[in-house]
Amino acid sequence: MKNINGDSYEIRLEEDKATISFKGALRLSGTDDYGPILEMLKGTLMNPAMPIVLDFRELDFLNSSGITMFSRFVIEARDRSGVNLHFLASEAIPWHARSLKNLQRLMPTLEIQMS
Amino acid sequence: MISQTLGENGHHTAGQCEYLTLAFSPLSAPLRSRWRNNGLSADFLGDYVTTFLPADGNDSGAEKRQSQIRHAVTYIANELLENAMKYHERQTDIPIGIHLELGVDDISVSASNGVGFIKAEHYKSYVEDILKEDPADLIAKHMEGSATENEPNKSCLGLLTMMNDYGARLGWTFEVHPTYSGMMIVTTRAVLSLKSFPGVSA
């Protein structure tokens, strides 16, 4: 288990399941500040046989720099063969339905499970 | 350089709106310590606006609609403030402002900051371009481009997502500063139609 925590957010990687859970509000200021999170995400691509799950169901807020960071990860996942990427999202959190579709457009095989 | 308005003009008729303005002095704290305040201010504006927007009746979707409006205002205010803080001309005491205006049919959120003529001209040229193209296509282009750049255009995706994901109409005002030579006040405005949140009226 690996964690990255900030004042307003918690990120938890369960390595045995290649699941990363996000909680709180991500409002970091740009590429440099999002770097450690992007590196954690990219680490899941080392074992492409396992489905990669990003759980956003408790991520209440994401700024556009955060959306850019996730787009970089999705493009990297798309450009490697055999990566199986899933997002878990919530209808109760408005940005999920509004913005995650932009990431799915980059990688049409990306599955978004809305609950 | 002359004063100019592009895109949406968000002025309401006097007396027909409620408004709230917050202003920050750029000299009083460094950018990094300001950053947390952006989130606090944006959350405050999102919470504040919903108190003026009672839901119609007791229908089951009322809470969801309030949540949608709160989130849209918070997201837009946060993005506008982040951009204003990032691009503000350092070493001037021109305040950075965020302004929320609640009209009969829409909500307007705008942020203003001071920039030099050259940066203002670049920004104006950029917004003229985004007004001509489909924001969904531009988002895809931005994302593909950012994957190969170390430092992608930071303000670009915020403006595009406001338009594409939240249906905001954007407008910009470029005004020559009355006292600072070579400086402009740039205001970026996002207008949300209340009709896009069915069941809520002011």
ipTM of the prediction: 0.95
Classified as helix, coil or strand, B111 is strand
CA separation, residue A44 to residues A39, A71, A85, B151 (Å): 9, 15, 10, 23
- Is B75–A95 a contact, with Cβ atoms under 8 angstroms apart? yes
Q: Average model confidence (pLDDT) for chain B?
A: 87
- Is A72–B74 a contact, with Cβ atoms under 8 angstroms apart? no
Task: Look at residue B151 in the predicted model and tell me its pLDDT.
Answer: 54
Distance CA B93, CA B95 (A): 6
| pTM confidence score | 0.93
Long-range contacts, A21-26 (Cβ 8 Å, 24+): A21/A55, A21/A58, A22/A54, A22/A55, A22/A56, A22/A58, A22/A59, A23/A58, A23/A59, A24/A58, A24/A59, A24/A60, A24/A61, A25/A59, A25/A60, A25/A61, A25/A62, A25/B39, A26/A59, A26/A61, A26/A62, A26/A63, A26/A66
Is B17 a member of any domain?
Answer: yes
- Is B165–A98 a contact, with Cβ atoms under 8 angstroms apart? yes
Is B107 a member of any domain?
Answer: yes
* CA neighbor of B162 nearest in space, from B152, B174, B170: B170
Name the residue type at position B157.
Answer: L
CB contacts, 8 Å: B72 with chain A: 94
CB hemisphere CA count around B56 (13 angstroms): 8
Tokens 């917050």 appear where? Answer: B22
Comparing alpha-carbon positions, the chain B residue that sits nearest to A92 is B64
**Residues in chain B where the model's pLDDT stays below 50:** 202
Looking at the structure of chain B, the number of domains it has is 1
- Nearest-Cα distance to chain B for A31, in Å, is 7
- Is A105–B161 a contact, with Cβ atoms under 8 angstroms apart? no
- Is B143–A102 a contact, with Cβ atoms under 8 angstroms apart? yes
Q: b vs e for B149-161, b when ≥16 Cβ sit within 10 Å of the residue's Cβ?
A: eeebebbbbbbbb
Range of the domain at B148: 4-196
- Nearest-Cα distance to chain A for B181, in Å, is 30
pLDDT in tens, A81-104: 889 999 999 999 999 999 999 999
Is B202 a member of any domain?
Answer: no
- Is B39–A27 a contact, with Cβ atoms under 8 angstroms apart? yes
Tell me which residues of chain B have a C-beta less than 8 Å from any C-beta of chain A: 31-32, 35-36, 38-39, 64, 67-68, 71-72, 74-75, 78-79, 82, 86, 136, 139-140, 142-144, 146-147, 150-152, 154, 157-158, 161, 164-166
Classified as helix, coil or strand, B83 is helix
Task: Look at residue A86 in the predicted model and tell me its pLDDT.
Answer: 97
- Is B154–A27 a contact, with Cβ atoms under 8 angstroms apart? no
Is B201 a member of any domain?
Answer: no
Task: Look at residue A30 in the predicted model and tell me its pLDDT.
Answer: 87
- Nearest-Cα distance to chain A for B7, in Å, is 22
Of B32, B143, B151, the CB nearest to A75: B143
Classified as helix, coil or strand, A100 is helix
Task: Look at residue A45 in the predicted model and tell me its pLDDT.
Answer: 93
Task: Look at residue B11 in the predicted model and tell me its pLDDT.
Answer: 61
Structure tokens at A52: 């990669």
Looking at the structure of chain A, the number of domains it has is 1
Q: Average model confidence (pLDDT) for chain A?
A: 94
pLDDT in tens, A37-88: 999 999 999 887 889 999 999 999 999 999 999 999 999 999 998 899 999 9
Q: b vs e for B69-105, b when ≥16 Cβ sit within 10 Å of the residue's Cβ?
A: bbbbbbbbbbbbbbbbbebbbeebebbbbbbbbbbee
Is B43 a member of any domain?
Answer: yes
CB contacts, 8 Å: A63 with chain B: 75, 78-79, 82, 158
Give the CATH number of the domain where residue A52 resides.
Answer: 3.30.750.24
Range of the domain at A67: 2-114
Of A31, A63, A76, the CB nearest to B150: A31
